């Protein structure tokens, strides 16, 4: 059982007492008549052969309140695309697969780029963005939920709790972020524990009070890949095309809506998915690359808020981060001891050292190019430049799924 403590500037919904999934799903079925729900599954073809996705599909078979499931399928050949269609065909909901490498969708991307708009590089962000475009083209949804396809501990309760705050008109939130524990015989979530949180708190020490930093620090798991939103948020949101997706999404939420309409919800008693390698020697792989992308996203977001960075600032930030991360590492070690969990002090310290290098590399790139690669354009911008683009997306995806 969780505590009920509210902290930060966004509403926090906990897991309190025994859970009543049947009641939650019954209410969602009722509300979804007026506020239809679409579920986005960003998916690599390779995940079809994994342990997590088949289990997720089995769980989704019993979800009655989702009107359509949109699978953003990436890295699939023509034969693999046909296999994916068969794989997802057992779902009872209307299920649409957006084949990212398919000629029709590729033609859509090309027409958008020819209009001078950025569509991002191949990755999760690009697939999520195109899925949003398709849902907007449908014009009959209120809520969009999204979760990853590598969740080993997935169950229906996760999705119900994620959808409820946005779908229930009595709560009427615009954006809901999921959070959870990531525990096996040890603590996981190294990037959140040892990079994001100590970095945000280090920035607060140097910059002082800043509402965006307070907003970031209000989330219990800011890098969680599970969230829901209303369609208006999806229409106006720009999306990063790299590992900065989750941070960039929060920055867009901060920019586009009132804090009173933002919440976070405990969606799972425990959460486990595939674990990325740390890759301390190679900044182009694993958590090392992730740390660089996340830091770049944070720094560029702060620049857009008027924060001025300099070489001296970044040197101070690195020193402050190392001290803050080491202090927090000691807290995690003690927390693990109280809960009889395994704690590898060397591995945790190596993660801090790797993330320190990630901060330095991100700072160097920001200093060289303050703007960097542009965010993927919002659908408001795209439809302004290409008024018929949503119809073209709808036709292309329908033809692929015919």
User: How is the beta sheet containing 227-230 ordered, strand by strand?
Assistant: 11-13, 262-268, 175-180, 227-230, 143-146, 37-44, 66-74, 94-99
Residue 85 clears pLDDT 90, i.e. is over it: yes
Model pLDDT, residue 242:
66
Domain-located, residue 97:
yes
Q: Give the per-residue pLDDT at 275.
A: 73
For the cut 90, the answer to whether the pLDDT of residue 363 exceeds it is yes
Is 1 a member of any domain? no
Q: Has residue 61 got a pLDDT over 80?
A: yes
pLDDT in tens, 199-237: 999 999 999 999 999 999 999 999 999 999 999 999 999
- For the chain, what is the domain count? 1
- Return the percentage of the chain with pLDDT > 90, whole number: 84
pLDDT of residue 243 exceeding 70: no
Beta bridge partners of 262: 175
Closest CA to 134 of 170, 183, 94: 94
Q: Give yes or no for a contact between 46 and 52, defined as CB atoms under 8 angstroms apart.
A: no
DSSP code of residue 26: H
Domain range for 161: 11-397
* DSSP category for residue 308: P
- 372 located within any domain: yes
User: Is residue 43 in a domain?
Assistant: yes
Rounded Cα distance between 152 and 274, Å, is: 8
Cα-based torsion angle of the residue sequence 329, 331, 334, 339 in order, rounded to the nearest 10 degrees: -100
Q: 4 in a domain, yes or no? A: no
DSSP one-letter string for 172-183:
--SEEEEEE--B
Q: How far is CA 120 from the centre of its chain?
A: 16
Tell me, what's the pLDDT at 161? Answer: 97
CATH number assigned to the domain comprising residue 71: 3.90.550.10
Is 40 inside a domain boundary?
Answer: yes
- Comparing CA positions, the residue from 91, 27, 95 lying closest to residue 65 is 27
**pLDDT, tens digit, 9 for 90 and up, residues 109-155:** 999 999 999 898 777 889 999 999 999 999 999 999 999 999 999 99
Provide mean pLDDT across the span 175-190.
93
Q: Is the residue at 2 inside a domain?
A: no
Residue at 338 is within a domain: yes
Q: What is the CA radius of gyration of the chain?
A: 21
Instruction: Give the mean model confidence (pLDDT) for residues 384-390.
Output: 96
């Amino acid at each position: 059982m969780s505590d009920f403590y509210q902290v930060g500037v966004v509403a926090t919904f906990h897991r309190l007492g025994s859970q009543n999934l049947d009641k939650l799903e019954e209410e969602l079925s009722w509300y979804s008549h007026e506020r239809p729900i679409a579920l986005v599954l960003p998916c690599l073809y390779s995940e079809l052969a994994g342990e997590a996705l088949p289990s997720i599909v089995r769980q989704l078979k019993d979800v009655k309140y989702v009107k359509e499931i949109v699978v953003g399928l990436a890295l699939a050949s023509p034969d693999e695309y046909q296999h994916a269609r068969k794989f997802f065909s057992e779902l009872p909901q209307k299920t649409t697969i957006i084949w990212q490498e398919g000629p029709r969708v590729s033609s859509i991307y090309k027409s958008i780029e020819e209009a001078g708009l950025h569509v991002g590089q191949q990755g999760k962000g690009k697939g999520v963005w195109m899925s949003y475009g398709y849902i907007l083209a449908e014009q009959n949804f209120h809520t969009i939920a999204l979760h990853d396809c590598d969740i080993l501990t997935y169950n229906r309760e996760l999705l119900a709790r994620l959808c409820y705050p946005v779908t229930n008109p009595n709560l009427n939130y615009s954006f809901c972020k999921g959070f959870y524990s990531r525990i096996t015989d040890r603590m996981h979530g190294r990037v959140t524990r040892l990079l994001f949180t100590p970095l945000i708190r280090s920035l607060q020490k140097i910059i002082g009070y800043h509402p965006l930093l307070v907003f970031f620090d209000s989330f219990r798991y800011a890098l969680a890949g599970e969230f829901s939103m209303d369609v208006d948020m999806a229409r106006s949101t720009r999306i990063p095309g790299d590992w900065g997706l989750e941070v960039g999404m929060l920055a867009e939420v901060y920019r586009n809506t009132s804090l009173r309409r933002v919440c976070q919800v405990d969606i799972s008693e425990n959460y486990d998915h595939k674990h990325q390698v740390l890759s301390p020697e190679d900044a182009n792989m694993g958590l090392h690359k992730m740390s660089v992308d996340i830091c770049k996203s944070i720094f560029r977001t702060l620049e857009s808020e008027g924060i001025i960075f300099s070489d001296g600032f970044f040197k101070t930030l690195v020193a402050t981060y190392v001290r803050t991360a080491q202090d927090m590492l000691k807290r995690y070690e003690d927390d693990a001891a109280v809960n009889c969990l395994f704690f590898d002090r060397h591995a945790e310290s190596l993660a801090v050292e790797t993330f320190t290098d990630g901060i330095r590399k991100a700072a160097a790139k920001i200093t060289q190019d303050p703007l960097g690669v542009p965010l993927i354009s919002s659908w408001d911008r795209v439809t302004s430049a290409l008024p018929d683009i949503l119809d073209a997306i709808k036709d292309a995806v329908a033809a692929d799924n015919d």
